[in-house]
Structure 1
């Protein structure tokens, strides 16, 4: 079973705007340097995005904007400690899973 084209497009789009520094939910947040200096922060952003995103039985993405919001709110709070994520992130949203074995 492969991931759907809809999910692939959602992940690609999110990755592009995160890597280019132009994500509209992060206007005014200087986060691009984290890619080279604090990769665990970026890792968590993508973990949250993938943990939160929901697909229907055909693989259509149901909550693209919400998954982006949860992930970008984490990054905003990382860069701006006074920013409060509402509602606070839950443990399952921030779960880091192991990669498949080689």
Structure 2
């Protein structure tokens, strides 16, 4: 079995970096320190990575096509998790929030 494409690994690494730094989509999440809420229990962090990876698209060469879109959708979930008044538009579809596993 091969490795994940380099571009995909880079996108995942940078997403994790931005998430840990509190800088995922700073326009949408400005003023929200979501880290305590996400890192206190694993399930919310797990949901963020599920949304990011479910939305992320790659081409046949392994190049990431929509990193910004995937980060934005994850940021929308984070915002709605931390701010109950925030409305996600468009609402999440089931495939975006699905948790995959063994």
Superposition TM-score, scaled by structure 1 size: 0.90
Aligned to 2:98: 95
SS at match of 1:13: helix
Question: Contact between 2:48 and 2:77, CA under 8 Å: does it hold in 1?
Answer: yes
- Where structure 2 has 5 or more consecutive residues not aligned to the other structure, the ranges are none
Aligned-partner Cα distance in 2 for 1:36–1:42: 6
Aligned-partner Cα distance in 1 for 2:6–2:74: 21
Q: Decide which of 30, 34, 41 is 1:27's aligned counterpart.
A: 30
Give 4+ residue runs of structure 1 displaced > 4 Å after superposition: none
Deviations 1:21-72 (A, max 9, x none): 2222422112111244232111100000000000000000000000000011
- Where structure 1 has 5 or more consecutive residues not aligned to the other structure, the ranges are none
Say what the alpha-carbon RMSD is for the aligned residues.
1.2
Q: Decide which of 43, 47, 70 is 2:46's aligned counterpart.
A: 43
Aligned length: 99
